[in-house]
Amino acid sequence: MVKEKTFAFFLGCLMPNRYPAIEKSTNYVMEKLGYEMLDMERATCCPAPGVFRSFNKVDWMVAGARNLCIAEQLDADILTVCNGCFGTLQEINKHLKENEEHREMVNEKLKLLGDYEFQGTIDVRHVAEVLGYEIGPWGIEDHIIRKLNVKAAIHYGCHFLKPTRIREIESSEGPTIVEDFVEVLGIESVRFKEQLTCCGAGGGLKAYSGDASMTIFGEKMKNIDNVKPDIILDICPFCHLQYETGQDYLNKNKGCNYDYPVIHLSQLVAYCMGMDQEFVGLQYQLMGRDFIFGGEDVIKEEEEAV
């Protein structure tokens, strides 16, 4: 049995190394909700499903299993905040639990990396799914001290829900888990055309062909711009990066003039639970640096009055 109300916090690459504010926020939220967050010492890249699985599926599984072993040693389920990390670790974990042949093969190779053996004792979770289903909109209400009044374009990304038969979270054609959750934070989700398409960064495409990646992203931004949200809300630091650098790129190269703040679910929830805006870290980001989360004090008072 894994420890209850405890997570092995899997950082991945982009969050600690580019968007530490998301890390800060996630810790803040989970700890306020009464979870203990354990460090996964010596963890590495998940490794990213698009690139590393493309090169060598076996090695991808081995490196992923190594991370899983670290959490198994901590006796805690893994919490990820990134669709890529979630995709990799959830998939490998599930696959190795089911496939004995591959489990043996991977364990054989794991020995070369150190004292690791995949046991299959833990689960892998994503913060959006923990918040959306485990805490739930009903459970977060007691914890929030600010309600916003913000229109958000929600981007789910691909690997949080797909492949649905492996993730088993929700239909990928019309998910509502994040909308339902953030509604209580005062977020109005605005639907836009082709909302569920990819941001264009995955599968190693961003590294392989920036142009192609930006063409896909440009279309996406056009559709978002059509509905003029206040913020773009994501659940993955890689999508986050794409929305950040992508807007910048389009502004510089395609004559666009976008400045939509890009906010990860953890950042948003942390803010609503009382973390100062300074720690949300918009000042470090490329877009929406001047964005102020609407009238927090007023809402705070209202909340208190109630």
Residues that bind other proteins (CB under 8 A): 11, 13-14, 16-18, 20-21, 23-24, 39-45, 47-57, 59, 62-63, 109, 112-114, 158-159, 162-164, 171-174, 191-194, 197-198, 200-205, 207-209, 212-213, 215-216, 219, 226-227, 279, 281, 284
Cβ-based nearer residue to other proteins, 14 or 30: 14
Radius of gyration of the chain (CA): 19
Instruction: Compute the C-alpha angle 143/145/147, nearest 5°.
Output: 110
Q: How far is the CB of 22 from other proteins (least distance, A)?
A: 10
Among 131, 161, 175, residue whose Cα is nearest residue 264? 131
In degrees and rounded to multiples of 5, residue 233 shows phi and psi of -110, 125
Residue 127 contacts residue 80 (beta carbons within 8 Å): yes
Q: How far is the CB of 75 from other proteins (least distance, A)?
A: 17
Q: How far is the CB of 50 from other proteins (least distance, A)?
A: 5
Cβ-based nearer residue to other proteins, 178 or 201: 201
The Cα–Cα gap between 253 and 273 comes to: 38
Q: How far is the CB of 217 from other proteins (least distance, A)?
A: 10
Cβ-based nearer residue to other proteins, 115 or 290: 115
Cβ-based nearer residue to other proteins, 5 or 228: 228
Cβ-based nearer residue to other proteins, 199 or 299: 199
Q: How far is the CB of 41 from other proteins (least distance, A)?
A: 5
CA distances from 27 to 11, 117, 239, 275, 296 (A): 11, 28, 20, 11, 21
Cβ-based nearer residue to other proteins, 47 or 288: 47
The Cα–Cα gap between 292 and 277 comes to: 8
Among 289, 290, 214, residue whose Cα is nearest residue 256? 214
Q: How far is the CB of 172 from other proteins (least distance, A)?
A: 6
The Cα–Cα gap between 153 and 268 comes to: 13
